Structure 1
Amino acid sequence: MDGAGSGYQNERTQGWAEMPMLALPQKAALRAAIADDKNPERAEGYDLLRTRILAGTAAQDWTRIGITQAKGSALAAPLTALNLALSEARRPARRVVLIDLDIARQPVLARLGAAPPTPRPGRGAVWHGQRLTDRLALLTIAAPAVEAATLLLSEAFQADLMQRLASLAPDITILHLPAMLAGDAGLAALPLCQTVLLAIDGRADTAPDLRACERRIGETRPILGLFLHDAEV
């Protein structure tokens, strides 16, 4: 038993150590939206969100939380996913994996001021892993945008994702999903999470948009809640 446990921990540690570090942005326009120790007032709001929702997920034994939004042009979901992941990773002895499944846009990388991975013809999906902190990893996928929904529905892709999570063994996984009302990629991603938080852009989303999202999500996964994102950022 001890030997097996030691081998598992070594594999987990190696998987994290092999990922390069991606520094958080320093440009004021990007930095203002990131909730960390340099932005304590914003960080406090996401800490409250974390505490509220993670009590419910723990009770249900959910470890994969999807975060989505209504429309593809909004920043509500990628920023909520990023800042919630940063908040959870601030807890002692917690490891968090954030996966951007919005393959066509890769908005989490954009909010970090980083270039998205470039798809290579004939190579299918190529995974990229980077650490934002010692206990927060970001996984992104390079693949043709037109193949996003087909890829997310693929049993091979789903198995690969679960294998990667098994090797990293995070305490919680946050999956940023494509927008629910922009094509079918968002629907295709729903089975990869256990519950979904719907982020709302208060300046753009309408009541009919939210009702349509709730119907689509509710047919596949339980809705964890709705979060009104600060649309001023």
Structure 2
Amino acid sequence: MTADADLHTLTGAYALHALSDEERARFTRHLSACRPCAQEVAEFTATTAKLAAAVAVTPRPDMKRDVLRRAATVRQVSPHTRAPRPAGTFRRRMPRLVAAACLALAVGLGGVTVGEHRRAEDTATEARRARQATDELIAVLGAPDAVTRRVPLDGGADASLVLSAARDKALLVASGMSAPPRGKVYQLWYDVDGTMRPAGLMDAHRTTQAVLLTGSPNSASAVGITVEPAGGSARPTTAPLALVTLPA
């Protein structure tokens, strides 16, 4: 059973529906008396929705036809039952939005034409990498110690930074971002003792995306976003579009 002192750490798990029924009921009662936790749950819920939109992929138009054609040749698997979990254990369950996004991602990347063996292998590899990346994003978002920070952006864009010290990872979820200038890219940075260190590149062709920052955020005091030449820079060449202070 979760101790009262630990309830404040369950905001991310609550937003991801990753609590047992007993823990969820107890935390729901806690929310009515804890405004900071209620605010953080609202932010995590919004971030979850943006994460789902960021990883979703639209299936190709002929996907339905191929699936129906191949369904008749696939042997059905017998129902599998799992042993019941002990009462009070932590159950990791993806929220419906993220589960739907993962399904769309798997279907969109996994559909291949029968007979194209090499293409099928390449697509399967790409799908595995995409699912692994999605699992990592969800793990950070659902970490018990995860905290979220709003990223101030101009032009109506909305972004959130999620940080988990225990997992030593940070995640940026952005939506509505305008495309960078031609030949440019948005680059992420960690501010470590006054030095900006590269932390990854954003996809220049997507206005909604989730990016797992490279490197450790635990020694950084802030995260910044700049516009850099395609391929990125070793040091920032422009003033930050946004600079978010990380929690101590």
The structure number with the bigger radius of gyration is: 2
TM-score normalised per structure 2 = 0.27
